């Protein structure tokens, strides 16, 4: 019995359902599996899989659907797959009919929410991934074809006019060499972006899912670029080709909710002058990017920003990651306050005299600020009766947990404490979230 037959057998699934309902711990699960005659290897496979069940149920299914749903996956396939919120939103980008090749299909996340009238074929070089794909599409009541083939060869055999071949493609190039290990070189994709561009020439249109930090200067003209995420993350840089690029040479930022509805979106015409940094600014941003802390500066935070530098004002705002990645936070800020400005070069904190609105910004009212020195910060906290702080770091290197212990706040109120830079100097900013 292979791994997939083991996991999808009635005996195994019945046990998993029982174990989840009874909330068995690892020892109870292992003991029961041993009693039921599973080998050591089989027990390990089942227990690893059981750890993924609540994760894929949350990632792909509405809460009302989760209880009985099972998919086939491993940890790496699950991590790389597109979640339901983004998948549901992306479904609106497709035409109502036609055919689609899901290239590098993996466990199938990019096909789960495709419009029902599209004829879909999953293509991958890994037979295990194709087994996952076929099983998982059935869980979504979909009928699909699969092919074990090199996606580049499949593309070359396709008619770009769609008369004899497939109309559209979607592709999620592999980004991780080892399970759980993010590749540091964002260009190290399989297939490469250059190969994806060549693939696109053999279809009417398509979409490619890139890491959000992928260098935008390398994305070709004539495409539409969309940065997608939730309130606090940017998870995809989606590149649309051909007929799917309804707004070519445009950059969009989209924030979606859990059901895939767009809460807010912004757009601008593409400007290649903002996509290449001069050497001095790149060096500064590279240095900031290497700093430790729970909230590091984004490498692409302020390249060629339209916002000037200025003094700290009444409000301090954090742009949503999709706005930072898309370089749209400057226009979004100015639309709400003509005097909005950065507090320091290379750090995506915007200060203003008017509050900047959600969901594009997390806005804080500034209560006070001092230099970063233990005595000065302690005095500021005491003056404002603050005893519980959340410490946010950008552009300052230290251990936040150790710093909170060192400050020993003792007041009755809660507040946000920013350790960052203002006009290049280290500063502690005490603020209240609006």
202-245 pLDDT, tens digit each? 999 999 999 998 999 999 999 999 999 999 999 999 999 999 99
Cα 356 from Cα 318, distance rounded (Å): 9
Asked if 205 and 242 count as a contact pair (C-beta separation under 8 A), the reply is yes
Asked if 174 and 126 count as a contact pair (C-beta separation under 8 A), the reply is no
Q: Which helix (H) or strand (E) holds 20?
A: helix 10-22
Question: ∠ CA(108), CA(187), CA(127), 5° rounding?
Answer: 30
Asked if 316 and 351 count as a contact pair (C-beta separation under 8 A), the reply is yes
Least confidently predicted of 172-181, 278-287, 347-356: 278-287
Cα 47 from Cα 59, distance rounded (Å): 19
Which pTM value belongs to this model?
Answer: 0.88
Identify which of 4, 10, 108 has the alpha carbon closest to the alpha carbon of residue 59: 108
pLDDT at 425 over 90: no
Asked if 315 and 365 count as a contact pair (C-beta separation under 8 A), the reply is yes
Cα 32 from Cα 29, distance rounded (Å): 5
Per-residue pLDDT, 279: 53
49-108 per-position pLDDT tens digit: 999 999 999 999 988 888 888 999 999 999 999 999 999 999 999 998 999 999 999 999
For 119, counting Cβ atoms within 10 Å of its Cβ (0-12 exposed, 13-18 middle, 19+ buried), the class is middle
Asked if 238 and 207 count as a contact pair (C-beta separation under 8 A), the reply is yes
Length of the chain: 434
Q: What is the mean pLDDT of residues 403-425?
A: 92
Per-residue pLDDT, 57: 95
Residue with tokens 């670029």: 225
358-393 per-position pLDDT tens digit: 999 999 999 999 999 999 999 999 999 999 999 999
Asked if 253 and 227 count as a contact pair (C-beta separation under 8 A), the reply is yes
Query: Where does residue 309 fall: left (phi above 0), alpha (psi -120 to 50 degrees), or beta otherwise?
Result: beta
Per-residue pLDDT, 291: 41
Average pLDDT, the chain: 88
Task: Order the strands of the 262-269 sheet from edge to edge.
Answer: 145-148, 118-124, 98-103, 168-171, 205-210, 236-242, 224-229, 250-256, 262-269
Cα 88 from Cα 280, distance rounded (Å): 41
Per-residue pLDDT, 224: 98
């Amino acid at each position: 019995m292979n791994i997939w037959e083991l996991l999808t057998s009635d005996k195994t699934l019945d046990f998993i359902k029982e174990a989840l309902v009874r909330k068995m711990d690892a020892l109870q699960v292992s003991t029961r599996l041993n009693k039921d005659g599973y080998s050591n290897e089989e027990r390990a496979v089942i227990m690893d899989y059981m750890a993924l069940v609540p994760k894929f149920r949350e990632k792909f299914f509405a809460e009302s659907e989760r209880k009985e749903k099972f998919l086939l996956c491993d940890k790496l396939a699950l991590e790389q797959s597109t979640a339901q919120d983004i998948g549901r939103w992306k479904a609106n980008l497709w035409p109502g009919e036609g055919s689609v090749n899901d290239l590098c299909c993996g466990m199938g996340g990019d096909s789960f929410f495709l419009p029902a009238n599209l004829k879909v074929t999953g293509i991958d070089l890994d037979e295990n991934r194709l087994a996952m794909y076929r099983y998982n599409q059935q869980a979504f009541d979909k009928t699909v074809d699969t092919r074990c083939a090199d996606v580049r060869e499949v593309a070359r055999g396709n008619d770009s006019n769609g008369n004899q071949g497939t109309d559209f493609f979607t592709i999620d190039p592999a980004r991780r060499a080892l399970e759980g290990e993010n590749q540091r070189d964002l260009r190290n994709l399989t297939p490469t972006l250059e190969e994806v561009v060549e693939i696109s020439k053999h279809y009417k249109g398509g979409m490619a899912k890139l890491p959000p930090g992928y260098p935008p200067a390398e994305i070709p003209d004539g495409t539409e670029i969309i940065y997608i995420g939730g309130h606090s993350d940017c998870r995809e840089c989606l590149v649309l080709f051909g007929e799917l690029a309804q707004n070519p040479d445009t950059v969009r930022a989209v924030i979606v909710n859990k059901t895939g509805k767009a809460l807010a979106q912004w757009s601008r015409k593409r400007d290649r002058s903002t996509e290449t940094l001069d050497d001095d600014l790149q060096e500064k941003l590279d240095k900031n990017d290497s700093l430790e802390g729970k909230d590091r500066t984004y490498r692409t935070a302020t390249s060629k920003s339209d916002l000037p530098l200025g003094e700290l004002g009444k409000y301090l705002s954090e742009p949503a990651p999709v706005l930072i990645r898309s370089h749209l936070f400057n226009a979004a800020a100015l639309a709400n306050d003509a005097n909005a400005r950065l507090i320091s070069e290379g750090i995506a904190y915007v200060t203003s005299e008017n509050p900047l609105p959600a969901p594009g910004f997390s806005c804080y009212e500034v209560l006070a600020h001092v230099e970063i020195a233990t005595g000065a910060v302690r005095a500021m906290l005491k003056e404002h009766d603050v005893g519980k702080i959340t410490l946010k770091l950008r552009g300052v290197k230290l251990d936040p947990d150790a710093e909170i212990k060192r400050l020993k706040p003792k007041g009755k109120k809660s507040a946000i404490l920013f350790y960052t830079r203002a006009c290049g100097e280290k500063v502690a900013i005490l603020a209240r979230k609006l």
